[in-house]
Chain A
Amino acid sequence: MANEEVKSKLKAFFMSDLGVDGDVLNYDTPLFGEEIGLDSVDSLEIISFVDSNFGVSMTGVGKEPFQSIDTIADFIESHK
């Protein structure tokens, strides 16, 4: 799956499952910043989504890969 497709899928997931407004969500937008406001409950959903859709485990990987759609996609790319 191309990196762009992964990002697009992630964005669609944030909009449909985590209620994020797509207009303010770019691939480099900080997910845990004030505007989007993701928290620990949301990260559990991200882990579950990435695992079941891309076969990549993000359990216990620390905060860094969760920064933005870009960083999650990079993590998926490098752990496939």
Chain B
Amino acid sequence: MTSNDCRCVVTGLGVICAVGNNVEETWSNALNSVSGIHKTTSVDTKNCYADLAAEVNCDSLDEIDSPEEKDRASKLCIKAANEALKDANLENFNDDQRVAVIIGSCVGGVLSVEHYHQNGRNANDIPKMPIASIASQVAETCGAGGIVTNVANACAAGTISIALACDLIRSGRADVVIAGGADSFASVPYSGFLSLHALDENGCSPFNHCNGITLGEGAGIVVVESYEHAQKRGAKQYCEVLGSGVTSDAHHITAPREDGLCLTEAMNRAVNNSGIKKSDIGYLNAHGTGTGKNDNAEINAFGKFFAEENPTISVSSTKVMTGHCLGAAGAIEAVFSIKALTTNTVLPTLHYTAEDSEALKAKVGQMDFVQNTPKAKELNCVMSNNVAFGGTNASIIFSKQPGEVVKHEAKNLVVTGIGIVSPLGNSKQAYLDAVKNDAKPASASVQSTITNDDYKELGIKMAFYRKLDNLGQLQTVSGVRALQDANFTVTEDNAKEVGIIVGTSEGGLGSTYDFEELIAEQGNANGSAFKFPHTVYNAAGGYLSICSGIKGYGVTITTGPVSGLDSIGYSMSVINNGPEKAMMATGTDENLPIITEFAQKLNVAADKVVAPFDNADGFVVGDGSVSLMIEEEGYAKSRGAKVYCRALGYGNGRKNVKFGKVSGSGEALDFAINDALKDAGLTAADIDAVCGFADGFKTIDNIEKESLARVFGDRLAALPVFEVKERVGEGRAASATLAAAEAALLLSGEMESDSAYFMANDGSVSKKNVAAAGLNKVLVIAFAAGGSYSAVVFGK
């Protein structure tokens, strides 16, 4: 049986969607086979072939603190979170470091993007746009002070959030996680799916007519809690969350693999990680979008997976009720799955005629696709699946019993490959040369530029790279460079043993704005099928998976600049706990003209080139993509890999401030550093250098300076602090990963020296060149708006 310290239980549920504004109403309507799909009233449908949507009808969304600071997606999420916390009998956590928030989303604050574009380009809209605002504002609302992040894997994001919540609890990093997903219905996704001809004009009909999806909106929240914490406070427990599986198709940016191979692998992982048998699963809440490609791939996968072991499994798609709620889908369906499990009731797929039922039977054989009305069935375990653009597959299991989840021991991890794309050039060597030449940003807004020569050198074909948007270009080149630097060849045999975590601050926000401009000018009927996939934040990671053939874990996280370090920390956790032997941890952000415009409007962009600790009122806006290959030491050694350094520890801290702000949150950086040191089994005295996040903007630089002074005390005056942003500007997640790459290059000796900053006791800062030779342990730190900080320790 799963040991108590590995058990994760559900103690609270919250939901808002087209069939209800809370769990009770939603469940009651679901039992009555109510569909929330109607003619849309919120977007322009002129000349559009489909005009249905499943919209939320709720007039109390603004009954929260500062509603004017929040996008509809955040408001939906906060409503569901408040319900779930009340259900769990939990109140404000007062920045408790053991409480985390993980929210999945696909389009995030897209309504605020639309509002900005069409209503005078008001700076107040900008902090509401990125997906990162959602989890941050949920955390701010309930005072969660632990890991606060968003999963941006489009339609699988809600499921992955709950999976990640369990990973955090099982690795001892949280006691309570508010996990789920949120998305709102808006013109961009509506027009995008229209352009793909993926909307069903008659309303979605999963596993039946399969003519397309119908978009919905909403939020689902599951309070996941460690069993021991829930027991201690006498909490009501709905069920256990057992294992999960996340894989990548490495196939196509929008279409799933027809054979369902990697979805099957995700289901396999979920079952294996749960320690249950396939026959224990009584009900499967399928992704079941209603597109032919998705539904046929799923039927293929289910047939192969359950086969003789569980041929009569009950299956349904609840999207005919809720519509496809994108990043909220997995979370809302998790609530349905948990209610199904605890009430022994399988929800149906609606709108089947007798003729439809016959046709379905011919496709699915003995499998029990429940239709039209709920079915009473004794259930022990329920599986919920979701798949997404970018080729992501996710599967998770809820159970009445604790299962056999195995606790894994921490492994020795090493950095074996580095790929750097920055405004200084598109290779590690270009960066090393820039350091040698003491290069500085050429202007107050600098960009990385990928050319055909890069693709040629890396052997990437035009048939592939022609599809890439700017973010995808940066990501693909840095990722492939890291693989080549690691001398790692992805083969059919090892593809499943390698994964990717992309950290990004703004992800596809620039492409979303681009798409909004297009449809504002040409109408929702004239969106671009070519451009739409780039609006999802995980497209860049998806392209890297397709290009490289990587088929293991594939997740995109977005919390702000800190995501570039979190990708390293989460990758360490994935290798420690999963079947992956190697992970590509990356940080990627772009600087399109609109991104610089946002920074200027927010008064955080410098008007000239500034350096760290210049005490300036803004920073140089930069970009880039930096990828690190991290491997289990034995695996790396067995293939004769070169080792840059060891990845020793990871930690984080949070002190809630408004999303878009950092002032007043600095002590959380102390927590992050101390957490990482503890994880590495070290103390501050063991650290020989820091790779920091100072970018010239005094508000940010002072947080770093003051925290380092508190953590290192008198030692700080002699402690070299390397600042990568003096060369590349504020590249958000890319700069955070670059700081880690700098640490790895120094520890390996490949970078022989670099100029470092020294902070004297009186607060003054001086610079001198420091040789890498004496450095054994290097601390890397990063920040995010809203008050989140992370730290990683690398060592020789």
A55 to chain B, nearest CB (A): 15
Question: How many angstroms between the C-alpha atoms of A34 and B464 in the bound complex?
Answer: 10
Pick the contact of A41: B463, B526, B533 (CB < 8 A).
B533
The reply to whether the CB of A19 lies closer than 8 angstroms to some CB of chain B is: yes
Mark interface residues in B454-489 (1 if CB within 8 Å of A CB, else 0).
000000011111111000000000000000000000
Which A residues are in CB contact (< 8 Å) with B467? 19
Query: Judging by beta carbons under 8 Å apart, are B526 and A20 in contact?
Result: no
Contact stretch, chosen from A3-11, A42-50, A68-76: A42-50
| Closest beta carbon of chain A to B426's beta carbon, Å | 18
Q: Knowing A17-B530, A37-B461, A39-B252 touch, does A44 contact B197 (C-beta < 8 A)?
A: yes
A77 at interface, CB cutoff 8 A: no
Q: Which residues of B contact A41 (CB under 8 A)?
A: 196, 253-254, 529-530, 533
| Contact present for A48 and B195 (CB under 8 Å) | yes
Q: CA A42 – CA B466 in complex, angstroms?
A: 11
The residue on A at minimum CB distance from B195 is A44
How long is the Cα–Cα vector from A39 to B464 in the complex, in angstroms?
11
Question: Within the complex, which residue of B195, B463, B468, B528 is in contact with A34, where a contact is CB–CB below 8 Å?
Answer: B463
B28 an interface residue at 8 Å Cβ cutoff?
no
| Contacting pair B464 A44 (CB below 8 A) | no
- Complex contacts, B466 vs chain A, CB 8 Å: 18-21, 36-37
Residues of A within 8 A of B255 (CB): 40
> Within A25-57, which residues are at the interface with B (CB < 8 Å)?
34-37, 39-42, 44-45, 48, 52
Contacts of A61 in B (CB 8 A): none
| Known interface pairs A21-B452, A39-B252, A40-B255; A45-B465 also in contact (CB < 8 Å) | no
B18 → chain A closest CB, angstroms: 28
Which residue of chain B has its CB nearest to the CB of A20? Answer: B466
- Distance of A52 Cα from B252 Cα, bound (Å): 27
- Given contact pairs A40-B255, A41-B196, A48 touches B526 in the complex (Cβ within 8 A): yes
Interface residue? A24 (CB, 8 A): yes
B529 A45 Cβ-Cβ under 8 A: yes
Shortest distance between the CB of B469 and any CB in chain A (Å): 9
The one of B195, B462, B468 in contact with A21, judged by C-beta atoms closer than 8 angstroms, is: B462
Is the Cβ of A36 less than 8 Å from the Cβ of B462? yes
Total number of B residues with any Cβ neighbor in A under 8 Å: 21
Query: For A19, A39, A40, A41, which residue has the most chain B Cβ atoms within 10 angstroms?
Result: A41
Chain A residue with the shortest CB-CB distance to B469: A19
| C-alpha spacing A21/B466, complex, angstroms | 8
Q: A24-B462, A40-B255, A41-B196 are in contact. List 17 more A-B contacts (CB 8 A).
A: A17-B528, A19-B465, A19-B468, A20-B466, A34-B461, A35-B463, A37-B462, A37-B463, A37-B466, A41-B253, A41-B254, A41-B529, A41-B530, A41-B533, A42-B530, A44-B529, A45-B528
For B196, list chain A residues within 8 Å (CB).
41, 44
User: Interface size for chain A: under 10, 10 to 19, 20 to 34, or 35 or more residues?
Assistant: 10 to 19
> What is the CB-to-nearest-CB distance from B525 to chain A, in angstroms, rounded to a whole number?
10
| Secondary structure of the B contact surface, majority rule | loop
CB-based contact A36/B530 at 8 Å: no
Complex interface residues of chain B between 215 and 258 (CB less than 8 A to chain A): 252-255
Chain A residues near B197 (CB, 8 Å)? 44
Kindly provide the distance from the CB of B232 to the nearest chain A CB, expressed in whole angstroms.
Answer: 52
Residues on A with C-beta less than 8 A from B465 are 19
For residue A59, which residue of chain B has the nearest CB?
B197
Collect the chain B residues with CB atoms within 8 Å of residue A21's CB.
452, 462, 466
Q: How far is the CB of A35 from chain B (nearest CB, A)?
A: 6
Q: Which residue of the partner chain A has the closest CB to B468?
A: A19
Cα-based distance from A24 to B195 in the complex (angstroms): 28
Near A by CB (< 8 A), chain B positions 648-696 give: none
Q: Across the two chains, which residue of chain A brings its CB closest to B528?
A: A45
Instruction: Report the minimal beta-carbon distance from B762 to chain A, rounded to whole angstroms.
Output: 55
Complexed CA–CA distance, A42 and B533 (Å)? 12
Chain B residues closer than 8 Å to A17, beta-carbon distance: 528, 530
Residues of B within 8 A of A19 (CB): 465-468
Most buried by A among B197, B463, B526, B529: B463
User: Residues of B contacting A35 with CB < 8 Å?
Assistant: 461-463
Give the distance to chain B from A69, nearest Cβ to Cβ, in Å: 16
Task: Indicate if the CB atoms of A18 and B530 lie closer than 8 Å.
Answer: yes
- Minimum distance in angstroms from B708 CB to a CB of chain A: 45
Measured CB to CB, the closest approach of chain B to A11, in angstroms, equals 14
Closest to B253 in A: A41
> How far apart are the CA atoms of A21 and B460 in the complex, in Å?
13
Taking CB atoms, residues of chain B closer than 8 Å to A34 are 461, 463
Distance between B299 CB and nearest chain A CB, rounded to angstroms = 20
Q: Which B residues, 183 to 208, have Cβ-Cβ distances below 8 Å to chain A?
A: 195-197
Q: From A25, which residue of chain B is reached at the shortest CB distance?
A: B462
Residue of B nearest to A37 (CB): B463
Roughly how many angstroms separate A34 CA and B462 CA in the complex, as a whole number? Answer: 9
Residue of chain A at shortest CB distance from B467: A19
Most chain A Cβ neighbours within 10 Å, of B195, B254, B465, B529: B529
Could you give 6 example pairs across A and B, Cβ below 8 Å?
A17-B530, A19-B466, A37-B461, A37-B462, A45-B530, A52-B526
Interface positions of B from 45 to 103, Cβ below 8 Å from A: none
CB-nearest residue of chain A to B293:
A40
The proximity string for B residues 508-538 relative to A, scoring 1 for CB distances below 8 Å and 0 otherwise, is 0000000000000000001011100100000
Which residues of chain A are within 8 angstroms of B533 by Cβ–Cβ distance?
41
CB distance from A78 to the nearest CB of B (A): 24
Q: Report the separation of the CA atoms of residues A76 and B39 in the bound assembly, to the nearest whole angstrom.
A: 36
**Complex-state Cα separation, A17 to B254, whole angstroms:** 18
B275 to chain A, nearest CB (A): 40
Closest-CB distance, A38 to chain B (whole angstroms): 8
Residues of A within 8 A of B252 (CB): 39
Separation in Å of the B391 CB from the closest CB of chain A? Answer: 14
Q: Which of chain B's residues have a CB closer than 8 A to the CB of A18?
A: 466, 530
Chain B residue, CB-CB nearest to A21: B462
Residue of A nearest to B252 (CB): A39
Alpha-carbon distance A20/B530, docked complex (angstroms): 12
Q: In the complex, what residues of A have CB within 8 A of residue B461's CB?
A: 34-35, 37
CB-defined contacts of A20 to chain B, threshold 8 Å: 462, 466
Q: Per-residue CB proximity of B382-417 to A under 8 Å, as 1/0?
A: 000000000000000000000000000000000000
**Least CB distance, A31 to chain B, in whole angstroms:** 10
